[in-house]
Amino acid sequence: MNNKRMIASVIEIVLGLVLIILGHLGKIDDYWSGMGGGLLAVGVLRLIQQFRYKNNATYQEAVDTERSDERNRFLGMKAWSWAGYLFLLIAAAGSIVFKLLNEEKLMFAASGSVCLLIVLYWMSYLIVRKKY
C-alpha cells in the first residue's frame, strides 16, 4: 500500500464530512448526506487498514499473500462471473414478472439491464480477445 491510497482515504473522509455537514445545514437532500456517511465510513475503514498494514508485519504478509495468491484471484473472477450470470437471470425473469404485473417502468429497467449487461459482455470479450 502506498501514500496515494492514504491520500484517497483522506479525500473520502473530507468529502464525506462535507456532504454530511451540508446535509445537516439543509443545503442538500438526504441522498447526498447518506452518500457522505458511506464515504466517511469507507474512508475511515481504509485508513485503519492502511495504518495496520504499515505497522503490523503479520497483517502485511497476510494481505500481500492474499493479493498475490493466484487461486484467490481465480476465485474472485469466478465469483464475478457467477454474479453476472445470476444478475442476468434475475433481471430477465424480473422483466417478465413486471410485464405481467403491468409495471412498465420496472419492466423497462429490468430489460435494459439485461441488454446493457450483454453489450458490456461483448465489448469486454472483444477487448480481452485482442489483449490475450
Partner 1 sequence: MKNRIEEIRKAKGIRQEELAKTLGVSRQTISSLENGRYNPSILLAYKVARCFGMTIEEVFLFDEEESV
CA distance 9 to 17: 12
Nearest approach in angstroms of CB 116 to partner 1 is 32
Note whether 72 binds partner 1 by CB under 8 A: yes
CA distances from 108 to 101, 116, 119, 123 (A): 13, 12, 16, 22
CA distance 31 to 29: 6
Fill in the per-residue mask, 73 to 102: x = in contact with partner 1 (CB under 8 A), - = not in contact: -x----------------------------
Candidate residues 11, 66, 108, 118; the one interacting with partner 1 per rule CB under 8 A: 66
Note whether 29 binds partner 1 by CB under 8 A: no
Nearest approach in angstroms of CB 48 to partner 1 is 23
The piece of 14-22, 31-39, 60-68, 90-98 that touches partner 1 (CB under 8 A) is: 60-68
**51 within 8 A of 5, measured Cβ to Cβ:** no
**33 within 8 A of 22, measured Cβ to Cβ:** yes
List of residues contacting partner 1 (CB under 8 A): 65-66, 68-72, 74
